[in-house]
Each structure stands twice: as C-alpha cells, then as structure tokens.
Structure 1
C-alpha cells in the first residue's frame, strides 16, 4: 500500500484513536466490555502517546499498536510487549497490521529490547495467523483463562527474538 505511513502517536490523536478503538472492539480480542460514550480518554499516565505507533492511510488513522514493558522488573527491561493492536475495518487486508507489527519490532529493537511478546485470545485465528507469519511463536497457553460471552477462551502467549 503506497499511501500507508507509520508514525509516532501525538497527543492530538487521542480523540480519533478513541473512536477507532471503540469501532474495532470485538469479543474476538477484547476481555473487557465495550466502552459506552462518552468514551474514556485514550491516553493516560500509564499509556502516554510515546507508547503508540499509528498507521495512516491517505492521511486518516487506520490503526495503532501499543508497546509496553512485559513487567516492571529491571531484570526484564530487555523484553517489550505488544499491549494492543487495532486496524480499522476499512483498512483490513491491506497490510496495515503487518506494517504496524514490523514497525513496533523496529521500535522495540531501537529501545534495546532483545525480545518482544504478546497475548492473544485462542479463538482469534486471524491475529494468531498474522503474528505467526511475522515470526511469533506460541510460548505458553493459559487454558480457559477468560469467560467471554458464555464461552471459556484460552489466553495464548506468543513471542519472538528481535
């Protein structure tokens, strides 16, 4: 996609990112209930703009990824964790998610990370397929970790070296 651009998030993106996050909510990947308007602030003290990369297509926000630390421990600072990834329905299947994954791996490596991890729900086959195609492997499984809409769902832990 030639008009795709990945950039650092800015504080002025908050409103558009909150709308995107609300629009892309799905029980396929969410473990919390869908937020009802008025939407909560997108950025907060624990998740500032610098934790996010934003995908733009034709000048419009088409997705985001959030990068955090896997734990607060100093001995674990070499590991980063993807803590959120969303792609607008209108941009799905156009390489936006893949571009965000690749960019966040570059960002993590530039910050000194040696590994990157993530958690994904077991029934989210499209996401698991994307992650696997980008070198992430299943490193753990928490069976029936969540009860979502009346069904027990596994929590899959994935990771890769950088």
Structure 2
C-alpha cells in the first residue's frame, strides 16, 4: 500500500454525496451490513434522516495523487429525547479499501469523541455485529466496552449473528 497523507477530519458537505455513496457501496460487506447489498437504482446517500452534518469524513492523498474521501463516520443522537441528549451514537463507519491499515478508522473514532464532546455529550455508544472482529478490536482499543449482547439478533448469510452494544464515557460534558 502506498503511503497516505491524511487530512484533518471535517464535516461532510453536500458536494461529497457522490464520493460517499460510492464509498458506501464499495465497502458493503456481510461483516457489517444487515441490509442487502445495494442495487441500482441507488437511493441518495444524504436525506432527511441522513444529512451531511451527521457525517465526519477524512480525506487522504497518496503520493502524487489528489485528495479523496478515505472514510466516513456517522455520529447522531440515539434518540430525540431530552433525557438522552447527553449521548451520541456511531451509526456507520466505512474506510475505503485503498486506505485500510493507514489509521483512517481510528482517526475517525477519535474525531467522533471530540465532536460528541463539542455537542455537549458525555457518553458515546455503538452497535457492531458480533462477527466483525476488526471493528470490535478497534472500538475496544479506543476504550469502548461491551455493555450488552443481543444473541442471534440478525440472520445473515445462513447463520445467526449477535448484535453487540458497546459504549464508553467521554468524561464531563
């Protein structure tokens, strides 16, 4: 893999839609997806429930190359309830195949901590499929702990897969 230069994490913009949609489709895998593989005609990437401001993106450039989106993370309140406003939830993380192993996922997770704190959160949660060992290892290495398991919650590719709930404190908001 060529060396990558990562740019600072930023909030997605409407102009990122095509790149993000392609990244999302190209990284689809039964390792993390509970919905079927997307097929044409594709739904828009951004929408009422998925606005650009919910997405953190990191651009990268290879030697001599132009910058392009290497990964994204979607960070949202888990519910619209005031009693839950101190929590943010990661609801999607994707890293381009060409950018894997360069720290893109870790960079996005750490940026999510900072953004969640900026939004006033003191806790962050996520759900990950039980068989997604690489993602679970990343989250554990960044301080997430398993807080619950929904055994056999999904039936994927002929087998039952656990839904693992993970979370961590961000300290005082």
Report TM bin, short chain. over 0.9
Following the alignment from structure 1 to structure 2, what is the Cα–Cα distance between the partners of residues 45 and 135?
32
Relative to the length of structure 2, the TM-score reads 0.91
1:3 match: secondary structure: strand
Which residue of the partner structure matches residue 23 of structure 1? 26
Q: Residues 61-101 of structure 1: CA distance to partner in whole angstroms, max 9, x if unpaired?
A: 11000001111211000000000000001111110000000
Match of 1:63 among 52, 67, 71: 71
Larger of the two Rg values belongs to structure: 2
Match of 1:78 among 81, 86, 104: 86
Is the Cα–Cα contact under 8 Å of residues 87 and 122 in structure 2 kept in the other structure? yes
Which residue of the partner structure matches residue 10 of structure 2? 7
Structure 1: tracts of 5 or more residues without a match: none
Following the alignment from structure 1 to structure 2, what is the Cα–Cα distance between the partners of residues 128 and 140?
13
| Residue 142 of structure 1 pairs with residue 144 of structure 2 | no
2:31 match: secondary structure: coil
Deviation (angstroms), 1:2 = 6.8
Relative to the length of structure 1, the TM-score reads 0.97
Match of 1:39 among 26, 29, 42: 42
- Judge which range, 1-10 or 49-58, deviates more: 1-10
Structure 2: tracts of 5 or more residues without a match: 62-66
Following the alignment from structure 2 to structure 1, what is the Cα–Cα distance between the partners of residues 5 and 98?
14
Which residue of the partner structure matches residue 123 of structure 1? 131
Aligned-residue CA RMSD (Å): 1.0
Match of 1:160 among 140, 143, 168: 168
Is the Cα–Cα contact under 8 Å of residues 4 and 102 in structure 2 kept in the other structure? no
Following the alignment from structure 1 to structure 2, what is the Cα–Cα distance between the partners of residues 107 and 38?
33
2:35 match: secondary structure: coil
User: What is the number of equivalent residue pairs in this alignment?
Assistant: 162
